[in-house]
Amino acid sequence: MLVFPNAKLNLGLYITSQRPDGFRNLESVFVPLPWADALEVLPAPAGADTALTLTGLPIPSDPATNLCVRAYELLQADFDLPPVQLHLHKVVPIGAGLGGGSADAAFALRALNEQFTLNLSAETLESYARRLGSDCAFFIRNKPVFAYEKGDVFEPVSLDLTGMACLVVYPGLHISTAEAYSRVQPRNPRHDLRTALSQPLNTWRDTVSNDFEDALTPFYPVLANIKQQLYDAGAVYASLSGSGSAVYGLFPGLELPPQLELPTEYQVWRGRL
């Protein structure tokens, strides 16, 4: 079975309070981004154990602890699954705030559910996904949502960006989640996110923001430089995604965004949402 775990974008991201469990409460709107990895799930050869092979972008961790393997182990513990051979071709950059690793884990759950006819509901798959990471559950249904608490509780959102042209720039800068959160102080949002996103797109620049952007830009000025380039190129809205360091721009009209003059080490995705 071959699946294509896609990334996500954050439309607004507010860190609102500290939780007793050490996490932070947040508010954000998640939308799917069609920048995708490829994940293959096959039966393991006779006598072989479950294993993961990797190609594409390097992943700096032991494959045995990869979220795809952990997703298999969660289901195997409850359903006694036979060994599988997993292969992940990594395309979505790591440490970019695009949720690529979380998507891989969620799509592994979905693929295993289908491969072995487990008939697990979306709600049940989400409960497994939450055990793997705060935003993993989003990728089970993979539809725009208003996310809150740890980013793992969702409400429907009336927002349709289908067909909107988008350009995402990853400057090759890995910002760890721990570092990003250490630089942000919880606060009440300056604007109600759902109300702000219900307004015309050309108003978002003044009302929809990402708390990580203000916290990280003084230390990583390249983020502000990319954002300004996107606005200069005609973006109607531009922002950091997640805890960074990918910056995206939304462009109106029928044409795809223009190519930007960027260093060759940057990774760029341009297309439609």
Cα separations (Å) of 190 from 14, 246, 248, 251?
A: 9, 23, 21, 25
For the entire predicted model, the pTM comes to: 0.95
Average pLDDT, the chain: 94
The reply to whether 160 belongs to the active site is: no
Length of the chain: 273
How many helices (H) and strands (E) would you count in the chain?
A: 9, 12
192 labelled catalytic: no
Question: What does the pLDDT read at residue 254?
Answer: 72
Instruction: Report helix, strand or coil for 239.
Output: strand
Catalytic pick among 37, 90, 104, 135: 135
Is 94 within any annotated ligand binding site? yes
Residue 95 assigned to a binding site = yes
What confidence tens digit (pLDDT) does each residue in 93-150 have?
A: 998 999 999 999 999 999 999 999 999 999 999 999 999 998 999 999 999 999 999 9
Predicted pLDDT at 213: 94
Summarised one tens digit per residue, pLDDT across range 20-52 is: 887 889 999 999 999 999 999 999 999 999 999
12 marked as binding residue: no
Cα separation, 32 vs 136, whole angstroms: 12
Residue type, 4: F
Q: Is it true that the peptide bond before 245 is cis, omega within 30 degrees of 0? A: yes
* pLDDT band of 53, cuts 50, 70, 90: very high
- 100 marked among binding-site residues: yes
How far apart are alpha carbons 235 and 164 in whole angstroms? Answer: 11
